[in-house]
């Protein structure tokens, strides 16, 4: 077992929080009357709660783990990721880009937009399947990140972690199945408050423990200029910064989990306010975990001897290249840094973040399968009750898949690359369809199909896929990274949709105003 300050008091705090989520699910179930209540909370989400739940669901444990790892491996230059996300969300809030037209149309899922805009049920079904498949794969390693966190902060062994994480996903499944979006919103709000308090206090304690000047000097010793300037940092550069801005737009305006929040808003005015105020949260959700990762970097470096996070040898201070190792730095650091009681609060907040991400994503992808794949394929429209039952069935099926895929199957690849590429299988095509479908009246069904199919080519960014087709050495030799592939496929999808829309226009006259 790892040495940690985690005590029985901390376990009590965590268990008490988890028990509270079960009570919420039981309490909220009485308010679920139909599919609109289950998926978008009756479209009654107001500004303050909307901001908290949007930030809460996006401030997931997997985000904290990835962000902390980035801070550990690149220093202060990692801050550009949060900055780009904040700017992108602010622009969407000011302009209403994509999300406002979607809210005006009153849709619940993005594939529903495909059918309304292009009057093509087939497009909705294909788009819904691609969206759900990519989204479920995108979640594939969330449980692994959670397991690493629990193991590092509590000190329990990996075998016990698997069972703890299985219990946690069962709890998420329980209250999400009962309360749908209403319970998701309420638990997200609680998690937002708990985690914000815990992380901010952690930053204060870390600075007091290490010292600000020592942090800056430590990053300079380890990374020199690369630790402060992302444009010169190894593995980052200008193209990566640009890709982070693009992902910032995607995560708040195209990714289905964020769009569900916009569609649940009370009005268009609330949508804009949610995004304007959430822009600060979208930035901070990266900056705070990254800063904690930087603190862990300097803390372990200054212990005076090579440990598991640094390569030994002539220059022992070189950070390990093993992502499975560097991902453990933040939770182990927290277990050593925080006192009893506060450690339990932070752990509860992080586990709450894990749960809030899973409840949102589970509800999102199961509802897409119900509303955009199965229901359109049915010979007659399914009843409200049948759709809720089917959505809950998909929730269980996806949860079982996640347990097997995330905990028991070793993928052996970098977490962020896996997430970015699996997500791009959906969003590269979806961005083209939303952009042109909303703002270009000539966009056609044939063009939309071409964007969807071309978007799936982003799967080439996965290392195992490259190896299977013998492309890994070529990409390595040419310096082609996953983000290069994502940007390229997105651009090609837009061009292909424009060309196909002109070559194969829709015959039906478009009279609706989608702007």
- pLDDT score of 48: 55
- Could you report the per-residue pLDDT of 402-447, keeping only the tens digit for each? 888 876 666 555 677 778 788 888 889 999 999 999 999 999 999 9
Cα 141–249–346 angle (5° rounding)? 45
pLDDT value, residue 512: 46
Q: Model's pTM, two decimal places?
A: 0.82
The 10 Å Cβ neighbour count of residue 133 is 17
Helix, coil or strand: residue 480: coil
Q: What is the DSSP letter of 321?
A: S
State pLDDT tens for residues 49-73.
555 555 555 567 888 888 898 999 8
Give the per-residue pLDDT at 514: 45
Q: What are phi and psi of 409, to 5 degrees?
A: -115, 125
What's the distance, Cα to Cα, between the start and end of the chain in Å?
58
What span, in angstroms and rounded, lies between the C-alpha atoms of 195 and 461? 33
> Tell me, what's the pLDDT at 178?
58
SS3 content of the chain, % helix, strand, coil (to 5): 80, 0, 20
Convert the pLDDT of each residue in 141-165 to its tens digit.
888 888 888 888 888 876 776 777 7
Instruction: List, run by run, the mean pLDDT of 10-residue segments along the chain (515 residues).
Output: 82 84 61 46 49 59 87 92 93 92 84 92 93 87 83 80 74 63 60 78 92 92 91 82 90 81 77 84 88 93 68 56 82 91 88 74 84 85 83 87 74 69 88 95 95 92 80 82 86 96 80 44
- Give the pLDDT of residue 305: 52
Whole-number pLDDT of residue 228: 94
The domain locations on the chain are: 412-515
In this predicted structure, what is the pLDDT of residue 293?
94
Q: Determine how many CB atoms are found less than 10 A away from the CB of residue 429.
A: 31
């Amino acid at each position: 077992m790892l040495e940690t300050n985690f005590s029985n008091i901390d376990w009590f705090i965590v268990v008490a929080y988890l028990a509270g989520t079960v009570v919420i699910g039981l309490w909220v179930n009485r308010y679920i009357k139909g599919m609109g209540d289950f998926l978008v909370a009756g479209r009654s989400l107001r500004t303050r709660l909307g901001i908290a739940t949007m930030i809460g669901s996006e401030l997931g444990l997997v985000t904290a783990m990835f962000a902390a790892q980035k801070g550990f491996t690149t220093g202060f230059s990692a801050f550009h990721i949060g900055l780009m996300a904040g700017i992108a969300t602010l622009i969407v809030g000011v302009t209403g880009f994509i999300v406002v037209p979607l809210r005006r149309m009153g849709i619940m899922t993005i594939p529903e937009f495909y059918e309304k805009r292009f009057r093509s049920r087939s497009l909705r079904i294909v788009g819904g399947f691609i969206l759900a498949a990519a989204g479920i794969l995108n979640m594939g390693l969330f449980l692994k990140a959670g397991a690493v966190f629990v193991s590092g902060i509590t000190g329990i062994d990996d075998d016990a972690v698997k069972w703890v994480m299985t219990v946690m996903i069962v709890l998420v499944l329980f209250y999400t199945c009962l309360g749908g979006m209403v319970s998701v919103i309420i638990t997200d709000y609680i998690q937002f408050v708990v985690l914000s308090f815990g992380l901010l206090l952690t930053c204060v304690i870390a600075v007091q423990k290490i010292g600000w000047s020592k942090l800056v000097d430590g990053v300079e010793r380890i990374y020199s200029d690369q630790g402060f300037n992302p444009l010169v940092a190894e593995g980052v550069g200008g193209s990566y910064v640009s890709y982070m801005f693009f992902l910032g737009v995607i995560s708040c305006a195209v990714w289905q989990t964020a769009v569900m929040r916009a569609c649940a808003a009370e009005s268009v005015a609330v949508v804009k306010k949610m995004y304007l105020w959430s822009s600060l949260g979208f930035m901070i959700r990266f900056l705070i975990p990254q800063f904690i990762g930087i603190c862990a970097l300097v803390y372990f470096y200054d212990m005076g001897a090579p440990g598991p996070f640094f390569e030994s040898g002539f220059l022992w201070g070189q950070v390990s290249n093993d992502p499975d190792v560097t991902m453990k730095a933040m939770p182990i650091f927290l277990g050593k840094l925080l006192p009893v009681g506060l450690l339990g609060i932070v752990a509860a907040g992080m586990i709450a973040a894990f749960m809030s991400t899973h409840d949102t994503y589970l509800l999102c992808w199961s509802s897409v399968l119900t509303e955009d794949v199965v229901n359109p394929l049915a010979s007659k429209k399914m009843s409200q009750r049948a759709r809720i039952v089917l959505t809950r069935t998909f929730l269980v099926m996806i949860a079982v898949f996640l347990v097997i895929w995330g905990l028991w199957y070793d993928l052996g690849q970098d977490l962020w690359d896996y997430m970015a590429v699996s997500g791009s299988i959906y969003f590269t095509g979806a961005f083209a369809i939303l952009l042109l479908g909303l703002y270009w009246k000539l966009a056609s069904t044939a063009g939309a199909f071409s964007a969807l199919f071309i978007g799936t080519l982003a799967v080439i960014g996965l290392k195992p896929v490259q190896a299977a087709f013998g492309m890994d050495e070529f990409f390595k030799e040419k310096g082609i990274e996953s983000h290069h592939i994502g940007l390229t496929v997105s651009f090609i999808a837009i061009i292909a949709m424009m060309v196909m829309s002109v070559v194969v226009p829709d015959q039906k006259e478009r009279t609706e105003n989608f702007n």
